[in-house]
């Protein structure tokens, strides 16, 4: 896939397919840049890149259906009625339909027992129509996340959260069957934007199992020198200000300001936080873990929020599910890999 991406002259977004076509409609990222006075040339258009990936996936699904009669299937388990989780689950099912996957859903009440959730997971483990299973996080407090994630068959663990998949990510000479979607999306953005990783200094802010820790491992596997900064790190700002690549995943709204950013660094903002804004239609707007304007003034490339990493999370989920379906087609043996 061709990308127009140049750190001095152009934002990193999917290239128009033909120079004779009409000028592409400005992406959300470009519109956001105009509104916030950050040059579009600095923006990594995650929304546009995710759309490109989704259309690549749709093409492959059509071929898979035609040649092998196989439709990739994703099972989505939602426990409780958190509004944000409901929104993400809806988006995932919609994305499945758009690329031609089947999706299966189990919406369980917030007071469901752990045993009931385990039964649902086991049923999907045994269902040959299901190539990927995800349990939307966070789970209610009375349910052990560890027990539920451990129960997902590693061959269907498209979220990449099973300890065997994470463990393989941490070991040299081993490859996980699946890589967690958000950190995978961060790396995909860097690679599609042709940001060099090998030999560069990277700083990952935050050490969650879902994002920070796997993001650091993925950067290290690509030969970056990685430092992790977290809530107990003395002088995280100074460490971060030495990095060529920053992945911010600390979950604190706008914590990473321009003072944390080395001039010319590439900044990937994983945070999604609601910030009160009486001028916004809903009374709030979404901001990242990075203070966008001050960081953009220093960065060579930066992801916006929304429209940066978020859409990549779902694109990577589809990619992982497709990979699992491909393994079903080829009969690749993966158990005990």
Ligand X SMILES: Nc1nc2c(c(=O)[nH]1)N[C@@H](CN(C=O)c1ccc(C(=O)N[C@@H](CCC(=O)O)C(=O)O)cc1)CN2
Q: Is 277 a catalytic residue?
A: no
DSSP 37: T
Q: Is 235 a catalytic residue?
A: no
Does residue number 260 form part of the binding site for ligand X (CB under 6 A)? Answer: no
Nearer to ligand X, 241 or 290 (CB): 290
Q: Is 92 a catalytic residue?
A: yes
Convert residues 108-127 into a mask of x (bound to ligand X by CB under 6 A) and - (unbound): --------------------
Structure token pair of residue 261: 């950013």
Least separation, in Å, of the C-beta of 43 and ligand X? 13
Stretch that binds ligand X, among 29-37, 63-71, 107-115, 133-141 (CB under 6 A): 133-141
Does residue number 45 form part of the binding site for ligand X (CB under 6 A)? Answer: no
Considering the candidates 92, 156, 201, 298, report the single residue annotated as catalytic. Answer: 92
Which of 103, 106, 136, 168 touches ligand X by CB under 6 A? 136
Residue showing tokens 């750190």: 7
Does residue number 159 form part of the binding site for ligand X (CB under 6 A)? Answer: yes
> What residues pair up with 44 in beta bridges, in sequence order?
12
**Contact at 8 Å (CB) between 197 and 227?**
no
Whole-angstrom Cα distance, residue 129 to residue 5?
Answer: 39
Considering the candidates 42, 45, 47, 136, report the single residue annotated as catalytic. Answer: 136
Least separation, in Å, of the C-beta of 136 and ligand X? 5
Does residue number 132 form part of the binding site for ligand X (CB under 6 A)? Answer: no
Which of 15, 40, 137, 170 touches ligand X by CB under 6 A? 137
Which of 287, 314, 318, 322 touches ligand X by CB under 6 A? 314
Does residue number 320 form part of the binding site for ligand X (CB under 6 A)? Answer: no
Sign of CA dihedral 253, 259, 260, 264: positive
Whole-angstrom Cα distance, residue 288 to residue 43?
Answer: 14
Least separation, in Å, of the C-beta of 67 and ligand X? 30
Does residue number 181 form part of the binding site for ligand X (CB under 6 A)? Answer: yes
Structure token pair of residue 285: 């707007």
Distance between alpha carbon 129 and the CA centroid of its chain, in Å? Answer: 25
Based on its alpha-carbon atoms, the radius of gyration of the chain, rounded to whole angstroms, reads: 20
Nearer to ligand X, 89 or 299 (CB): 89
Q: By CB under 6 A, how many residues form the interface with ligand X?
A: 17
Whole-angstrom Cα distance, residue 215 to residue 187?
Answer: 8
- Interactions with ligand X, residue window 281-310 (CB under 6 A): 286, 305-307, 310
Whole-angstrom Cα distance, residue 306 to residue 46?
Answer: 9
Alpha-helix residue ranges (DSSP H) falling in the chain: 28-36, 46-68, 83-99, 114-126, 145-151, 163-170, 181-192, 212-221, 236-240, 292-298, 309-330
Nearer to ligand X, 91 or 294 (CB): 91
Least separation, in Å, of the C-beta of 229 and ligand X? 21
Burial of 26 from C-beta contacts in 10 A (0-12 / 13-18 / 19+): middle
Nearer to ligand X, 32 or 325 (CB): 32
Least separation, in Å, of the C-beta of 250 and ligand X? 15
Cβ neighbours of residue 12 closer than 8 Å, sequence gap 6 or more: 3, 4, 5, 43, 44, 45, 49, 189, 192, 193, 194, 301
Please identify every residue annotated as catalytic. Answer: 92, 136, 159
Footprint of ligand X (CB under 6 A) = 88, 134-137, 159, 181-182, 272, 286, 305-307, 310-311, 313-314
């Amino acid at each position: 896939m061709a990308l127009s991406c140049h750190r001095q002259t152009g934002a990193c977004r999917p290239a128009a397919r033909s120079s004779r076509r009409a000028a592409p409609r400005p992406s959300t990222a470009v519109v956001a840049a105009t509104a916030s006075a950050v040059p579009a040339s600095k923006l990594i258009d995650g929304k546009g890149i995710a759309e490109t990936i989704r259309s690549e996936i749709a093409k492959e699904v059509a071929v898979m259906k035609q040649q092998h009669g196989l439709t990739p299937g994703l099972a989505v388990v939602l426990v409780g009625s958190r509004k944000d989780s409901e929104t993400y689950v809806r988006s995932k099912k919609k994305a499945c339909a758009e690329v031609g996957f089947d999706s299966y859903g189990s919406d369980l009440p917030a007071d469901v027992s752990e045993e009931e959730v385990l039964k649902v997971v086991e049923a999907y483990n045994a269902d040959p129509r299901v190539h990927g299973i995800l349990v939307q996080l966070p789970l209610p407090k009375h349910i052990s996340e560890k027990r539920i994630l451990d129960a997902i068959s590693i061959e269907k663990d498209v979220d990449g959260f099973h300890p065997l998949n994470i463990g393989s990510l941490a070991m040299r000479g081993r490859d996980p069957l699946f890589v967690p979607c958000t950190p995978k999306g961060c790396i995909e953005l860097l690679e599609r934007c042709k940001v060099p990783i090998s030999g560069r200094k990277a700083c990952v802010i935050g050490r969650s199992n879902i994002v920070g820790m796997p993001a650091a491992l993925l950067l290290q596997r690509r030969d970056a020198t990685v430092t992790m900064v977290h809530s107990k790190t003395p002088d995280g700002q100074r460490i971060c200000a030495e990095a060529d690549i920053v992945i911010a995943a600390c979950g604190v709204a706008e914590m990473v300001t321009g003072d944390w950013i080395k001039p010319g660094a590439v900044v990937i903002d994983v945070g999604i936080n609601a910030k009160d804004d009486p001028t916004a239609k809903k009374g709030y707007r979404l901001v990242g873990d990075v203070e966008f304007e001050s960081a953009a003034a220093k960065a060579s490339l930066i992801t916006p929020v929304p429209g940066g990493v978020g859409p990549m999370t779902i694109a990577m989920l589809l990619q992982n599910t497709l990979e699992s379906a491909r393994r079903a087609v080829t009969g690749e043996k993966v158990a005990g890999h």
